[in-house]
Amino acid sequence: MMKTPSPLAPFLVHTFILPSFIYTHKSLIRKFKLFQIIRYTITTVFLFLLKIIPPSLKPNSNKSNDSSNNYSDTNLNNDGCDQYYYPYVKFFKENNNKDDGTDTCIARALTQLLAIVNEIPVSSRKYEVVRSYAEKLMDENLVEGNESLRKVNATVLSCAFSRTLGQLELAVMAAGVAAEDDGSVVVNSDGGVCFGLNRVVKTVGRYGDVAWTRFRKRRLNRFGGSGEKLAAELLWLAEKLAACGSGGEAVCQWASASKLASVALSAQLRLQGSLVKICAYLLKQAAGMGGEDAEEGNGEELREVKMKLLMSWLPFLCRASIGTDAPVLTFNEKIELENVLGELISSLKHEEEQEKILSLWIDHFTRCASSDWPNLQLYYTRWCTTSRKLLILEGR
C-alpha cells in the first residue's frame, strides 16, 4: 500500500507562513512595498490552488471518508438506528470512564439537553424551554432520593461543566485576539514604531496561535457561544453540581483553569464581572470543603486544590472589574468574600503556602491602582505576627 504523504508541510504553511502574510500589520505592509507584492502574490496563488485541487487530495478528505466509514460500522446498532445521534452524547461516553452505571438512557438524555442549552442563543424562544426541561429532569432525579440518579446528575453535570469551561476559555481568548488585531500600531519601549525583522518574527509567532484560535472561534460561533452567556451557564452548572453534592468537582476544575484566569483580564468588563461572580461562588464552595473529607485522609489533596484555586484566581480578583454603575458584588458580599479568602488562606500550611498566597496578593493589590479589593491586610498582618512568634520560639 502506498504511504500517504505527511500533512506536516501543509500544516506549517496554513498555520504559520500564510497567517504571517495575510494578517501582517498594515503599517509594515505600507512601509515595505516589496513585502506587499509578495503577500498579495502568495495569497492569490494559495486561494487559486484551493479551487483547483481535487477534493480527494485535500488533507481532510481521507479523514472525512474514514469518519463516515466508522459512522456506518460502529455508530449504528442492530436496528439501524444512530446510537450516537448527537455529538455531545459521544462526548459524554468518551469522558465518562467510571463504571458506575451512569451510562444510561436518562444520562444520555440529560447530556443532550445540556448540550442544546449550550448551543442555543439566549435570544431564541426555545432557550428557556430546553433549559427549564433540563432543570426539571435534574430536580426529579434528586427528588427520587436514589444514589444512582444522583450520580447521573453529578457525572453529566461534570462533563457539561468541563465542556462549557473550555468554550469560555476559547471565547475569552478569541475576544482578546480580536481586540489586539484592531489595526493599532505596536510601539516599543523607546516610543518608536516596531518595524522590520522583529515585527515579522512577532507576527509569525503570534498569528500561528491566532490562526488556530480563529478556526476554533468559527466553530464556537455555530453555537450561542458569547462569553457572558457561557459564564452564566457555567455558574448555573456549578450551582447544580453543588445541589447534588458534587460542588467540589466544579471547584477542582475552576482551580485548574489557570489559563482562563490569565487571559480573563483582557476580557470585556461585563464578562469580567460574570467571572468574578463565578469566583465568589466557587471560593465559598471551597471554604466549605474539608471536615469529614479531611478525616478520611483527603486533607492534603484538599489543600492542594485550595492552593491552586487561590494562586490562579487571586490576581484576577485584585485586578478585575467589579462594576461601577452596577456593582457586581454588594458591600456585604465583598466583605464576606474577604472573610472566605482569609479562611482559605488560614487552612493552608503556614510557612510555605500562606507565604506564597499572601505575597502574590500584596504584589497585585499594590500594583492595581483602580481597585482596593480584596483587602486582606488583616490576614497579612496576622500572618506576619504569627511568623514573628514562630521565629522567637525556634530561637529559644
| Dist CA 53 CA 58 (whole Å) | 7
Q: Is there a domain that residue 192 lies in?
A: no
Residues 134, 226 within the same domain: yes
Residues 123, 31 within the same domain: no
Residues 172, 308 within the same domain: no
Q: What is the pLDDT of residue 72?
A: 37
Distances (CA, A) of 68 to 1, 73, 219: 21, 9, 20
Residues 42, 130 within the same domain: no
Sign of CA dihedral 227, 229, 235, 237: negative
What range does the domain containing 335 cover? Answer: 268-290+300-396
Who wins on pLDDT, 266 or 11?
266
Residues 132, 280 within the same domain: no
Residues 230, 94 within the same domain: yes
Residues 6+ apart with CB under 8 A from 158: 241, 246, 249, 250, 253
Phi-psi region of 3 (alpha: psi -120 to 50; beta: other; left: phi over 0): beta
| Dist CA 313 CA 280 (whole Å) | 10
To the nearest 10°, report the CA torsion of 114, 248, 359, 261: -10
Q: Is there a domain that residue 97 lies in?
A: yes
DSSP state of 120: S
Residues 96, 235 within the same domain: yes
Residues 103, 171 within the same domain: yes
Mean pLDDT is highest, among 183-187, 295-299, 303-307, for: 303-307
Tally of domains within the chain: 3
Q: What is the pLDDT of residue 370?
A: 82
Q: Is there a domain that residue 98 lies in?
A: yes
Mean pLDDT of the chain: 75
Q: What is the pLDDT of residue 75?
A: 40
What nine digits make up the cell of 264? 480573563
Q: Is there a domain that residue 368 lies in?
A: yes
The pLDDT-based confidence of 189 (bands split at 50, 70, 90) is very low
pLDDT tens digits, 364-381: 999 988 888 999 999 999
pLDDT tens digits, 213-226: 555 555 544 444 58
| CB-based contacts of 390-393 (< 8 A; 24+ apart in sequence) | 390/350, 390/351
pLDDT, average across residues 34-47: 70
Residues 38, 116 within the same domain: no
The rounded percent of the chain whose pLDDT value lies above 70 is 60
> Cis peptide leading into 374, omega within 30 of 0?
yes
Residues 332, 233 within the same domain: no
